[in-house]
Structure 1
């Protein structure tokens, strides 16, 4: 291993200057002032040239004309699948896969999952004394769990994405929940096509060039469990050798950022957008995103595996220089 002849203080200053250059050059040279919007599906060439090749999001207003936009609602699901068993994520605070404190320790906590009839799930959304209920399994559940809904979708609309990514989606997911459900800030190694069917979704987006400004920590993994009194406890998770399972996650809440602890976050480039029924969002791989929603929101998303090209290699280098990803 090489030992570089530079003192640590000088190296820290060099890194700080380099991260500032990354932020400033990104802002000046290629990141848009606002997320681009259009009102018709782009051609594959336009989509590749203007968005995918540049890793820039795109909002297509009212771009989705599928029958589901008009048909899907609580009443429709009661009429067509009231007794259908569905897998539901349960949390006390709406944060499935997020940070929560338990007995003075912060954990990365996953939701408890229960199977219940669709009608019971819909009733639970109306009763705010219940734990927060959310259908969000993210495992290609639209195909595997809700095949009866596929008749209301015409996936030929996604041909512009399929042609550019040169593949079919790795997963197609169905999401439904109320306004209490929140997706904590994170990033995914997928090219994401996101469609709001009912209600609205509010996104906070931060580009991958702001890795140095978005803090992360390592947390022990845990899961919510309902106790005998009906309250939800946090249960730490261990591996087969009884060692804590540790996961790295974004440690700042963009709704209430602690800038005293994380002053660099103020320098991050942030975009806020709202998606309404029929709106489509192209969310490029590795973009940080935080999501809130309206009551009885229904959404779909389609994940395409990202290309692990030179851009990804540079991203991993910057991530490592920040002390993350290890």
Structure 2
């Protein structure tokens, strides 16, 4: 796949989707990454070399396009993937497979606390992923706020967030650190729960139930990158979504 083009997320701070202060503004934005089109060989070289060199590059690259990216952008790799996991999951959940995604990054990339409305089967191929997990019912402690949406744009000075639309907003947890302590000005519940810490290594699979809050970081190891494939499945019943709606009240 060396010459094939793929979508790669670029950020200056390794946070692919997160709430950040806007430049010269007291407002906080939910900032989306800049998306680059790179050849697979080029992306792999830059991601791995940054890990091996231990440098602080001006931008961090992360292959995290989602949107069924394994089949849409990495289709040649499907020959190396058996369907026994997806068949088992379809039988277990009783629902159709929504998407299969491919992830590739180095140790600098991380994802702040969030929840996905899918059943998630997460498979490590190389390196490790470190999950911090909290139950869906902990939402009242996650300090969810509505943020205007921005996206990183490129200029001579580097990447900087640009507001997309004043009318567009995203609800997102204001908890940025892995295990924050409540303090002045923090609306988080003072009794911060202890997350379940899970490390998923190459060859292991994590089942992440729908709507579980999770913070994700990764270790690339000697090879310079962490690689994973995950399967998203629709939630079989509206009972879970009804419960979450009740907890929002």
Q: Same fold (TM over 0.5)?
A: yes
Per the alignment, residue 88 of structure 1 pairs with 8
The answer to whether residue 162 in structure 2 is matched with residue 235 in structure 1 is yes
The answer to whether residue 202 in structure 2 is matched with residue 280 in structure 1 is no
Aligned-pair CA distance for 1:311: 3.3
User: What is the count of residue pairs matched by the alignment?
Assistant: 235
Larger relative CO (CA 8 A, sep 6+): 1 or 2?
2
Give the alignment partner of residue 240 of structure 2, picking from 311, 317, 325.
311
- Is the contact between residue 129 and residue 216 of structure 2 (CA under 8 Å) also seen in structure 1? yes
Could you list the per-position Cα deviations for residues 30-52 of structure 1 after superposition, in whole angstroms to 9, with x for gaps in the alignment?
A: xxxxxxxxxxxxxxxxxxxxxxx
Per the alignment, residue 69 of structure 2 pairs with 141
Name the SS of the counterpart of 1:109 in structure 2.
strand
Name the SS of the counterpart of 1:266 in structure 2.
coil
Aligned-pair CA distance for 1:289: 0.6
The answer to whether residue 223 in structure 2 is matched with residue 294 in structure 1 is no
After superposing on structure 2, the runs of 4+ consecutive aligned residues of structure 1 that deviate more than 6 Å are: none
Per the alignment, residue 117 of structure 2 pairs with 189
Structure that is richer in helix per residue: 1
Per the alignment, residue 4 of structure 1 pairs with none
- Is the contact between residue 252 and residue 258 of structure 1 (CA under 8 Å) also seen in structure 2? no
Could you list the per-position Cα deviations for residues 107-162 of structure 1 after superposition, in whole angstroms to 9, with x for gaps in the alignment?
A: 10000001011121122211342411011111101011111101111012332211
Query: Could you list the runs of 5+ residues in structure 1 that have no partner in the other structure?
Result: 1-80, 322-326
Per the alignment, residue 37 of structure 2 pairs with 115
Aligned-pair CA distance for 1:97: 1.2
Q: Distance in 2 between matches of 1:281 and 1:226?
A: 36
Structure that is richer in strand per residue: 2
Q: Distance in 2 between matches of 1:315 and 1:218?
A: 17
Give the alignment partner of residue 134 of structure 2, picking from 169, 184, 206.
206
Aligned-pair CA distance for 1:218: 1.1
Q: Distance in 1 between matches of 2:179 and 2:91?
A: 40
Relative to structure 1, the CA distance from residue 118 to residue 268 in structure 2 (aligned partners, 3 Å threshold; closer, same or farther) is same
The answer to whether residue 82 in structure 2 is matched with residue 154 in structure 1 is yes
Q: Provide TM-score, normalisation by structure 1.
A: 0.69
Give the alignment partner of residue 173 of structure 1, picking from 88, 98, 101.
101
Aligned-pair CA distance for 1:318: 1.2
Name the SS of the counterpart of 1:83 in structure 2.
coil
RMSD between superposed Cα atoms in Å: 1.5
Name the SS of the counterpart of 1:264 in structure 2.
coil
- Is the contact between residue 142 and residue 188 of structure 2 (CA under 8 Å) also seen in structure 1? no
Per the alignment, residue 148 of structure 2 pairs with 220
Relative to structure 1, the CA distance from residue 196 to residue 217 in structure 2 (aligned partners, 3 Å threshold; closer, same or farther) is same
Between structure 1 and structure 2, the one with the greater Rg is 1
| 160-169 vs 218-227, greater mean Cα deviation | 160-169
Aligned-pair CA distance for 1:275: 0.4
Q: Distance in 1 between matches of 2:152 and 2:43?
A: 18
Q: Distance in 2 between matches of 1:162 and 1:179?
A: 32
- Is the contact between residue 110 and residue 224 of structure 1 (CA under 8 Å) also seen in structure 2? yes
Q: Distance in 2 between matches of 1:266 and 1:178?
A: 33
- Is the contact between residue 200 and residue 277 of structure 1 (CA under 8 Å) also seen in structure 2? yes
Give the alignment partner of residue 97 of structure 1, picking from 17, 23, 31.
17
- Is the contact between residue 116 and residue 211 of structure 2 (CA under 8 Å) also seen in structure 1? yes
The answer to whether residue 178 in structure 2 is matched with residue 249 in structure 1 is no
Per the alignment, residue 15 of structure 1 pairs with none
Name the SS of the counterpart of 1:244 in structure 2.
coil
